Structure 1
Amino acid sequence: MNITFEAMAAKLSAPEGWTFSDGPYGLEPLILPPAAAPDEEVERLRLATTPGDGLKALCPTLLTHGDSPLPMGTQSATGTPHPRIYWFRWITGHQISFVLWRLLIQEMRTAALADGARQARAIAAMITYVRGYCSMLLYTASCSRDLYETLIRPSMFLVHPGFSGTWAPDFAAVRQLFRGRQPGWSGSGDEAAALRRAVGLCRLIHSGVAAKLVPAGGSLLQDTPPYGTQRPELLGTLFDTYFMTARRPGCAERAVPQLLRRLEAVTLDLVEHGLAVPGEGERPLELRDEDVLEAERDLMGTMLRVGEHAAGLDASDLELQPQFVSQG
């Protein structure tokens, strides 16, 4: 696949209702508080407005389509998808993941200090955020292998020959959870089992994405000999800069609205284009697993539940919110 400047600059229409960035599939910088070490307190991300009002204002399309199965294969009717769609998905999907990790850290720490119903609510939110990360893995990796090899992988290589997701500043505090290490405060047996299933699904999807995009099995970090400095603060800054993420103290109230804006833009994209690439060929075995396929079908529903939890809705509101908004 040859991605020329002309192909990248070709006209791309925005989905109806698009308000993100300054044009179709444009990007926005993400502003987050500084990353914290696993044992440090973090600024709590929160929505400064009424939860329902925040969702209605920032996620109208997600509220309408959150109960609908993900449209599959709609891109085939419009020919070859525009490369900028997948660049948007790569950057914006990762930005969403960064906010999800921050929210996950909050709920992990709440669950560690709480018990009873409050702990159960925190674990339920954790499960939702883990499944939200599963959805973003599927979304960011929805490009073809050709496009990944000619556009995305080279862009990371140009930033650093050994560019790696392990440099993500916010991931350090949740790394052990995603590696399958169950917290000691895992709640009831049912809650612990549900969290284990969500983490297991994440690991399965991550493995499938690697098999799809890098079938030879070598990441940039694995394929590159030791190169230059290995200072963690520099590598973290390189990672943030690549994904258009800046760190500022005292900006906790900005994070959730930024998340909701991105969830709305992703919904508009998926309603317009679906997820699958036309003529993609056979998927890796991991991505043909029924649990993965179900996660794909429920991708917009998962995003809606992420938005509801992030906005601070009570558990009793979570099932009623979409219907309430659609009637209003």
Structure 2
Amino acid sequence: MVTSLAAAVAAPALVLPMPGVPLPADCGEKDCQERLREGLAALREALAGHPPATLLPPADEVSRVQHRWLVGHHAAFAVWQSLADVLHVLAAATEAATDRLAVRAAALYDAYSVLFLYAGSCTPELYAAVLRPHMTATHPAFSGEWARDHAPVPAALRAARDRHPPARIAPLTLAAKDNRRVHMAVAGKLVPGGASLLQQAGRHPGHAPTEDEYALYDDYFHVRRQGLCRVTHRAQLVRLLGQCAADIARHGLGAVPAGCPERFTQDVLALLTAPVLAGEPPLLIHRLPKGRTT
């Protein structure tokens, strides 16, 4: 029986299509546009240092660890879908569109890096006591490799790199390399011994997950698969990033692990929200008190 993380966290289900399913540009319903406008307004308030109560995380530390694990993953899943889409477009893009698309993909990678820091911002002790047993109870080999939304990203990145000269996609290459460094740094902090649940269960990374494992991962993180339009997809991501931004602004990210690129110790709110604020009116982003991201 799956022990859904959502049972411990008061958060709605994440609604996403299956990876690779095209999103219609607009379903035509007024509610979608209204949710997007409201989400952007709430995000601006959070970045200005005045987050609405609906975006605030739990007050106690253990509940906040679980909240960050779920909300951070939800936001990452939506970012991965957007990232895969942009990388696929970049892989087929003309020279004239390359720079813009590479910058867009880099911004999505940077947002994912911040989300990884956010979701894994707890201490190793809390990770071992609160999160790891919960995943083990779901499945002894529970693994991030079972995240179906990330599966298309590496191949799409390779295709984009094969299509364009390195100099033209330099921002993307840097962001992807930094993302790998963030991933290794957070994993090394949370599991100092380095053994994942997958490895402890006697399995080796790199084997394609089964459909049952993909479904188990979705169930654990309370992901519901159904069609939705691009406006609703964006509104959902805006809401999630607003929750993360409000939490970071109030509580910081804790100690940034060794090996993490220096640029992720400052301006993390700008890096986190750039993908959804591109093209929006400029705003003054609330600066965290010195030391809150370190």
Please give the TM-score of this superposition, normalised by the length of structure 2: 0.78
Q: Name the residue aligned to 2:83.
A: 104
Number of paired residues? 263
Instruction: Check if 1:306 corresponds to 2:271.
Output: no
Q: Larger C-alpha radius of gyration, 1 or 2? A: 1
Q: Name the residue aligned to 1:286.
A: 259
Q: 1:302 to 1:208 in 2, by over 3 A?
A: same
The alpha-carbon deviation at position 53 of structure 1 amounts to: 7.5
Moved over 4 A (4+): 45-49, 51-56, 64-68, 250-253
Any unmatched runs of 5+ in structure 1? 1-20, 37-41, 69-79, 310-316, 324-328
Any unmatched runs of 5+ in structure 2? 1-5, 50-58, 285-294
* Contact 1:161–1:224 under 8 Å retained in 2: yes
Q: What is the CA deviation profile of residues 84-112 of structure 1, one whole-angstrom value per residue up to 9, with x for unaligned ones?
A: 11111101111111111110111112112
Among 116, 127, 134, the alignment partner of 1:137 is 116
Q: Name the residue aligned to 1:154.
A: 133
Q: Name the residue aligned to 2:38.
A: 57
CA distance in 1, matches of 2:26, 2:133: 37
CA distance in 1, matches of 2:83, 2:273: 16
3-state SS of the aligned residue for 2:283?
Answer: helix
The alpha-carbon deviation at position 172 of structure 1 amounts to: 1.3
The alpha-carbon deviation at position 247 of structure 1 amounts to: 0.7
Among 223, 243, 246, the alignment partner of 2:200 is 223
Identity of aligned residues (%): 27
* Contact 1:101–1:171 under 8 Å retained in 2: yes
The alpha-carbon deviation at position 206 of structure 1 amounts to: 0.6
The alpha-carbon deviation at position 203 of structure 1 amounts to: 0.7
Q: 1:285 to 1:82 in 2, by over 3 A?
A: closer
Among 191, 215, 220, the alignment partner of 1:214 is 191
Instruction: Check if 1:322 corresponds to 2:291.
Output: no
Please give the TM-score of this superposition, normalised by the length of structure 1: 0.71
Q: 1:156 to 1:52 in 2, by over 3 A?
A: same
CA distance in 2, matches of 1:297, 1:92: 21
Q: What is the CA deviation profile of residues 57-116 of structure 1, one whole-angstrom value per residue up to 9, with x for unaligned ones?
A: 213353256489xxxxxxxxxxx9521111111011111111111101111121122213
3-state SS of the aligned residue for 1:174?
Answer: helix
The alpha-carbon deviation at position 302 of structure 1 amounts to: 1.5
Instruction: Check if 1:127 corresponds to 2:106.
Output: yes
Q: Name the residue aligned to 2:251.
A: 273
CA distance in 2, matches of 1:45, 1:308: 21
Q: Please report the RMSD computed on the Cα atoms of aligned residues, expressed in angstroms.
A: 3.1
Q: Which amino acid aligns with 2:44?
A: L
Q: Which amino acid aligns with 1:322?
A: L
Out of 80-89 and 57-66, give the one that drifted further. 57-66
CA distance in 1, matches of 2:43, 2:236: 15
